[in-house]
Amino acid sequence: MSVPFSYYDFIEACAEPGCPVCTLLQRDARRFLDSLLYEYVNSPSTHAAFRASRALCKTHNGQLTQFGEQVLGIAILQAAALDEVLNIIAANPAQPQSGLSRWLSGGSKNGPSVLADRLEPEQPCMVCQSLDEAEKRYLQTINDHLADARFEGAFRSSAGLCLPHFRSALRQLADPAALERLVAIQIGIWQKLKAELDSFIVQHDYRYAGKPMGAERDSWQRAISSLAGK
Ligand SMILES: [Zn+2]
Ligand SMILES: [Zn+2]
C-alpha cells in the first residue's frame, strides 16, 4: 500500500501536545482561511457560500481576526454576509402581523420568529465542511497504518485522541484489528493520565504543600484538552 502524506503528517502531529487529529485539523483550518483570504476573496462561489452560511461559524469567523494583514479580504467577505442578512430582513418584516392578516394567512407563526428562521444558515460553515472531510481522512489513515511499527510507536507516545475524536474513530474504523489496537493504546494513555491526575490531587493536599511536582504538574490542562479536544 502506498503511504499517503497524512501518514507522515500524523506521525509529526503525534509529537505535538494534545490530540494529533485536533493538531492536524487546527493546521488545516489555518491553511484553509489563509488560502481563502489570499486567493478566493473575489470568487463568486465564496460569496455565495458566505451569504448562505451567514459568514462562518462562531469559531472560524472568530479565527479570522488572527489574519489581521488580510483586513480588506475579511471586510469584503463580511460585507457579503451582512448584505445577505439585510436583504432577508427587508424581505421578511419582523413586525407581528395584525390579527386580521394573521387570520387571513392562517399562519400561527408571527413575523419575528419567521424572520429568525430565515436568518438561520442555509448551509454549514465552509471551513467546518472541509474539516469534516479531513477528519475522515485522518481516521482512515489510523485505520490503514496502525499496524505499522513506526506509526504505532508515534501514536503510543502521543497524548492520544481526544474523546470526541475517539468516538469518531470507534464509529469509523472498519478494520477490527486496527480498532482493537487503537482502543488498547488509548486505554493505556488515559490510565496514565488518570494516575497523574490522582497524584496531582493528592499532592495538592496541605500535607504535601511545597513539594515539587513531576509530570503530573500540568495533568489537569492535558485532561481538559483530552476530554474536550483542542
Ligand atoms: Zn481531537
Ligand atoms: Zn466552522
Q: Please write the tens of the pLDDT for every residue from 37-74.
A: 999 999 999 999 999 999 999 999 999 999 989 999 99
- Ligand nearest to the Cα of 36, by number: 2
Q: Are 41 and 67 in contact, with CB atoms under 8 Å apart?
A: no
Reference 195, options 216, 180, 181, 178; nearest CA is 216
- Ligand nearest to the Cα of 127, by number: 2
- Ligand nearest to the Cα of 124, by number: 2
Q: Please report, for the chain, the start and end positions of each structural domain, with discontinuous segments joined by +.
A: 5-228
For residue 139, pLDDT over 80 is answered with: yes
Q: What pLDDT, on the 0 to 100 scale, is given for residue 205? A: 77
- Quick one: angle between helices 20-39 and 71-91, nearest 10? 90
Q: Are 16 and 227 in contact, with CB atoms under 8 Å apart?
A: no
Q: Please write the tens of the pLDDT for every residue from 148-183.
A: 999 999 999 999 999 999 999 999 999 999 999 999
- Ligand nearest to the Cα of 168, by number: 1
Measured in Å, residue 17 CA sits from the centre of ligand 1 at 11
> C-alpha grid cell for residue 120?
438561520
Measured in Å, residue 16 CA sits from the centre of ligand 1 at 12
- Ligand nearest to the Cα of 28, by number: 2
Can you give the pTM of this predicted structure? 0.87
Measured in Å, residue 205 CA sits from the centre of ligand 1 at 32
- If one counts every other C-beta atom within 10 angstroms of the C-beta of residue 55, the result is 21
- If one counts every other C-beta atom within 10 angstroms of the C-beta of residue 127, the result is 23
Measured in Å, residue 48 CA sits from the centre of ligand 1 at 30
SS (H, E, C) 1-69: CCCCHHHHHHHHHHCCCCCHHHHHHHHHHHHHHHHHHHHCCCCHHHHHHHHHCCCCCHHHHHHHHHCHH
Q: Please write the tens of the pLDDT for every residue from 199-228.
A: 999 888 767 766 668 889 999 999 999 999
User: Which residues, 6+ apart, have CB-to-CB distance to 67 below 8 Å?
Assistant: 33, 34, 37, 74
Residue reference for cell 467577505: 77
